[in-house]
Amino acid sequence: MKTETIRVKTSQKTELIDITDDIRKKIQSAGFRSGIVMVYVPHTTSAVTINESADPDVGKDILMILDQLVPQRAGYRHAEGNSAAHVKASLTGQSILFGVEDGKPVLGTWQAIFFCEFDGPRSRRVDINFIAGSGQK
């Protein structure tokens, strides 16, 4: 399985960053024409999700509701003090899958791929795994 990596530098405590173009470029440079791509975040306080990018308020709403669901302080035991970020990361998830056809991600009109920072600012890594399919270099 071929893997590419992109680096994401976050600047806020919590934020959603659209990484669709970075992933699109990696698919092209890998020569991957057709198959499945898994985007995987190897961190415990960040995540990845697919959602709407046309209206940036959608991402803000997602972060707002996660804040309401997962309070900053709730009698957590984890001594590092970032349990809310760990819980948000597990709720959101560490990987997404999507299809690739003719070297392009198969996404809906309004869909984009977002890196989700829950304990920034940090320097993060995102792995792009090219699975099965055809036309790999």
Contact positions vs Zn ion (CB under 5 A) = 80, 82
Two tokens at 27? 């698919």
Closest distance to Zn ion from the beta carbon of 117 (Å): 14
Closest distance to Zn ion from the beta carbon of 72 (Å): 13
Sign of CA dihedral 79, 68, 110, 50: positive
Residue nearest to Zn ion (CB): 80
Closest distance to Zn ion from the beta carbon of 1 (Å): 29
Nearer to Zn ion, 26 or 43 (CB): 43
Nearer to Zn ion, 54 or 91 (CB): 91
The Cβ of residue 134 has, within 10 Å, a number of other Cβ atoms equal to: 8
Closest distance to Zn ion from the beta carbon of 87 (Å): 10
How many Å separate Cα 38 from the centre of its chain?
Answer: 10
Start-to-end Cα distance in the chain: 11
Nearer to Zn ion, 61 or 80 (CB): 80
The C-alpha atoms of residue 8 and residue 22 are separated, in whole angstroms, by 10
Nearer to Zn ion, 14 or 82 (CB): 82
Bridge partners for 6 per DSSP: 126
Q: Determine which helix (DSSP H) or strand (DSSP E) holds 88, and give its type and residue range.
A: helix 83-92
